[in-house]
Amino acid sequence: MKQFTAKLSIVFIFMIGLNAAAQDFQGQAIYQAKTSVDMDSWGNGQMSEQQKKMIAERMKNMLEKTYVLNFNRSEATYKEEEKLDAPGSGGGMWSGMMSSFTGGPQYKNIKENVLLQEQEFFGKAFLVQDSLPNLEWKLENETKQIGQYTCFKATTTKKADEMDFMSMRRKNKEDDDKKEAEKKNGKKVQDSTKTEADDPFDELEVPKYIIVTAWYTPQIPVSTGPAEYHGLPGLILEVNADRTIMLCTKIVMNPKDKQNIDRPKKGDVVTRDEYNKIMKDKIQEMREMYGGRGRRN
């Protein structure tokens, strides 16, 4: 009886050790994110090449970023890598203003189905709390190699965030292209919908849905990836979502200097819908200020 009890104790200690090892499992992945912008659609298609180049340089820091994903089996944090702006890189006031319209550090908990995002909007701290998006992935047979990892393709259609500035585009661009062609052919084109009071924001829209292609590797058996993406049988190493590409360039498994994967707590807690309304109200306030100055002139 004593021998049987001793064996049970050994098994119990072994199981505790396995559970601790599983909890101790951690990895770090570095992602390069790049968003493309159709500069021809800016300024009603009437900007010079010099103006396009200047705006593209100013937007580079916003459109090309490096992110760090720290993850264990059930949690992950996804943060932009901190770096100093190079001289003449479009930092300062421009960078500070645009950071108010881009996503902050994220925390995901797969078990609890929780997505938290820290956000600073015009000097005020928010903690946007939401459920993880329900992504219905279609697993494909196609594979490719990313570094030393064999990756499998998966696709889904995702509802776009109405305030996703990375997916914003001009409305009725096809009509604009047609008018431009008519103008080149010598035809007179008049747009009666335009008035002096029109605002540039009125010409922008976000698509209702975007197609997402992901590449994941079962060699790293965690159901997470960059940004809000999750739900595949392996770490997601690449995401193509609308105009944005997120590509993993480095992976370190069980690093010596492990990073804490902590649930954020700072900021006024709001839902995504509530936060979007705050953004809309602020944009409307800015539009009215801009319009007011225009009318006084």
Q: Could you list the pLDDT tens digit for every one of the 297 residues in the chain?
A: 544 444 444 333 333 333 434 456 899 999 999 988 765 555 555 666 666 566 666 666 678 899 999 999 999 999 998 765 555 544 444 455 555 566 789 999 999 999 999 998 888 999 999 999 999 999 999 999 999 999 999 999 998 776 666 665 666 655 555 555 555 556 554 544 444 445 555 666 767 888 999 999 999 999 999 999 999 999 999 999 988 999 999 999 988 888 889 999 999 999 998 998 888 888 788 777 766 554 444
Please indicate, yes or no, if residue 157 is contained in any of the structural domains.
Answer: yes
Number of domains in the chain: 1
- Using DSSP's 3-state secondary structure scheme, residue 225 falls into coil
The residue range of the domain holding 38 is: 27-168+206-296
Count the alpha carbons within 13 Å of 68 in the hemisphere toward its beta carbon.
13
What was the pLDDT predicted at 163?
67
Give the closest residue to 30 by CA, choosing from 65, 73, 59, 75. Answer: 65
Please indicate, yes or no, if residue 197 is contained in any of the structural domains.
Answer: no
Please indicate, yes or no, if residue 211 is contained in any of the structural domains.
Answer: yes
What was the pLDDT predicted at 257?
82
Q: Which residues contact 211 (CB under 8 A, 6 or more apart)?
A: 155, 156, 157, 158, 241, 242
For residues 108 and 76, the answer to whether their CB atoms sit within 8 Å is: yes
Structure token pair of residue 35: 């968003």
What was the pLDDT predicted at 60?
65
| CA atoms of 52 and 40, how far apart (whole Å) | 8
Please indicate, yes or no, if residue 18 is contained in any of the structural domains.
Answer: no
Q: What is the DSSP letter of 231?
A: -
Please indicate, yes or no, if residue 19 is contained in any of the structural domains.
Answer: no
